[in-house]
Amino acid sequence: EDKVVQSPLSLVVHEGDTVTLNCSYEVTNFRSLLWYKQEKKAPTFLFMLTSSGIEKKSGRLSSILDKKELFSILNITATQTGDSAVYLCAPAAGGTSYGKLTFGQGTILTVHP
Amino acid sequence: EAGVTQSPTHLIKTRGQQATLRCSPISGHTSVYWYQQALGLGLQFLLWYDEGEERNRGNFPPRFSGRQFPNYSSELNVNALELEDSALYLCASSLYRGAGNTEAFFGQGTRLTVV
């Protein structure tokens, strides 16, 4: 069965801090890994990673995938209170799991002013 | 450009009744996915529709079903509602077949409460 573990489960920081969120996975027929930010209801798409070692960046957020060690990290630099949310990672697989994203339990990030 | 839209926003049903949830994908997207997010739990994959066909389903009983219409909008039906079906139901859409080939974008969800 596919497995996704995110760590830490929760994190409390102050504005300006840098945070690193971890996602490890065991997925058969891995295709890619997606990161989402969920504030109230709709998860908002952040990144899709398919290749190892290639960093994707969007403003203060960046992410990288290691397909050999089966993990991904999401970095947020110079955090702001608006970054407070649940961050979800979701590997996508092929085979019988084709089309399905398996979500981790999420990391709850709280940024204090 | 409009995002994924879901209706209704909230739905209250009695145990044993049927619920129908609706989803309109982003224009041009052909794949629609349904996920359940129960309180305190992660997102669980329910169903994937593409080009009008059910392509994959998660580990849910057959009373969870749906369909995709020719305009790519989709409907999720939950029959014989149970209290444990109370959850946020999220719909997502993507441009190409299968999340993981391309990004999937989520709607705001329908909060279903079964009493």
For residue B108, give the chain A residue with the closest CA: A42
* pLDDT, tens digit (0-9, with 9 covering 90-100), for B35-90: 999 988 889 999 999 989 999 999 999 999 999 999 999 999 999 999 999 999 99
Q: Which residues of chain B neighbour A93 with C-beta distances below 8 Å?
A: 100
Domain extents in chain B? 5-114
Nearest CB among B99, B103, B106 relative to A42 is that of: B106
State the Cα–Cα distance between residues B37 and A88, nearest whole angstrom. 13
Domain extents in chain A? 3-112
Q: Is A53 left (phi over 0), alpha (psi -120 to 50) or beta?
A: left
Half-sphere exposure of A49 (CA within 13 A, CB side): 28
The class level of CATH for B5-114 reads: mainly beta
CB contact under 8 A, B58 and A98: no
Averaged pLDDT of chain B: 93
- Would you give the end-to-end CA distance of chain B in angstroms? 37
Q: Which fold has domain A3-112?
A: Immunoglobulin-like (2.60.40)
For residue B89, give the chain A residue with the closest CA: A41
For residue B96, give the chain A residue with the closest CA: A99
Please determine, for residue A110, whether its predicted confidence score (pLDDT) is greater than 70. yes
Query: Which stretches of chain B sit within 8 Å of chain A by CB?
Result: 4, 31, 33, 35, 41-45, 48, 50, 55-56, 58, 88, 90, 97-109
The alpha carbon of residue B24 is apart from the nearest alpha carbon of chain A, in Å, by 14
* pLDDT, tens digit (0-9, with 9 covering 90-100), for B5-28: 999 999 999 999 999 999 999 999
Mean pLDDT of A7-13: 97
